[in-house]
Chains A and B, each alone.
Chain A
Amino acid sequence: MPYVPHADEDIRQMLAVMGLDSIEQLFSHLPSNVRLGRDIDLPLGLSEEEVRNWFSCAASINHGTTELVSFLGGGVYDTVIPAVIDALVSRSEFLTAYTPYQPEVSQGTLQAIYEWQSFVCRLTGLAVANASMYDGATALAEACQVAVATKRKPLVVLPATLNPRWARVVRTSMRGAGIAVVEVPAGIAGTTDAAALESVLANAQAAAFVLPNPNYLGLVEPVAELSAVAKAAGAIVIAAVNPVSLTLLKSPAEYGAELCVGEAQPFGIPPTWGGPLLGFLSCTDEHKRRIPGRIVGRTTDSRGQDGYVLTLQTREQHIRREKATSNICSNQGLNMMRATIYLAMLGAGGLVELGEANRARIEALRKRAAAVPGVTLPYTGPVFNETVLRLPRPAREFRAFARKHGVLAGIPLDGVADCGPNDILVAVTEKRALYQIDQYAALLAEFAATGGKGK
Chain B
Amino acid sequence: MSGERQVTSGWLGELPGSLFDKGGPGRRGLTFPRWEGEPAPKLPASVLRAAPADFPAISEPEVMRHFTALSNLNHHIERGMYPLGSCTMKYNPRLNEQVAAMQGMADLHPEQDVADIQGLLGALMHLEKALCEITGFAGCSLVPAAGAHGEYLGMLVIRAWHESRGDTGRTEILIPDSAHGTNPASVAIMGMTPRQIASKADGRIDLEALKAAVGPKTAGIMITNPNTLGLFENDIVEVSRIVHEAGGRLYMDGANLNAILGKARPGDMGFDVVHMNLHKTFSTPHGGGGPGAGPICVAEDLVPFLPGPRIGKAADGTFTLERMPGVDDTAIHAYYGNVGVCLRALAYILRNGRNGLKRVTECAVLNANYLKHQLKDVIEVQHAEDCLHEFVATGAGWKRDFGVRTLDIAKRLLDYGVHAPTVYFPLIVEEAFMVEPTETESRESLDHFVAVMKRIREEAATDPDLLHGAPHHTPVGRMDEAKAARDPDLRWMGPCNC
Contact = CB atoms under 8 A, between A and B. Distances in A.
A86 B98 CA distance: 11
Nearest to B374: A17
A153 B108 CA distance: 40
Interface residues of A, number: 208
B269 to A, nearest CB: 5
A119 B365 CA distance: 44
A224 interface: yes
B477 interface: yes
Interface string B113-156: 10011111011000000100110100000000111110110011
Given A26-B369, A312-B488, A347 B30 contact: yes
Given A51-B347, A107-B15, A275-B341, 20 more contacts: A27-B263, A29-B386, A45-B356, A93-B71, A97-B287, A99-B286, A104-B414, A127-B490, A169-B333, A177-B191, A288-B490, A313-B485, A330-B291, A331-B289, A343-B55, A347-B498, A348-B52, A348-B55, A359-B40, A361-B37
Contacts of A331: 289-290
Nearest to B237: A33
A15 B333 contact: no
Interface in A56-94: 56-68, 70, 72, 74-76, 78, 80, 82, 84, 86-94
Contacts, number: 693
B60 interface: yes
B339 interface: yes
B245 interface: no
Contact of B105 (A36, A59, A163, A220): A59
Contacts of B260: 30
A275 B99 CA distance: 15
B331 A172 contact: yes
B373 A17 contact: yes
B46 to A, nearest CB: 7
Contacts of A416: none
A231 interface: no
A125 B491 CA distance: 12
Contact of A324 (B57, B181, B441): B181
Interface in B314-373: 329-341, 343, 347, 349-360, 362-363, 365-366, 369-370, 373
B393 interface: no
Interface stretch (B75-83, B204-212, B295-303, B453-461): B75-83
Contacts of A137: 331, 333-334
Interface residues on B, range: 35 or more
Nearest to A120: B491
B476 interface: yes
Contact of B91 (A3, A64, A351, A433): A3
B263 to A, nearest CB: 6
A348 B339 contact: no
B197 to A, nearest CB: 14
A56 to B, nearest CB: 7
Given A35-B263, A46-B350, A345-B63, A95 B29 contact: no
B380 interface: no
A346 interface: yes
A290 interface: no
Interface stretch (B182-190, B213-221, B246-254, B394-402): B182-190
Contact of A300 (B71, B475, B479): B479
A52 B99 contact: yes
Contact of A346 (B27, B30, B484): B30
Given A5-B441, A109-B289, A276-B340, A82 B331 contact: no
B1 interface: no
Interface string B56-70: 111010011011101
B73 A108 contact: yes
B84 interface: yes
Given A44-B354, A177-B189, A98 B288 contact: yes
A276 B341 contact: yes
Interface in A293-334: 294-303, 305-309, 311-314, 316-324, 326-334
A6 B68 contact: no
A341 interface: yes
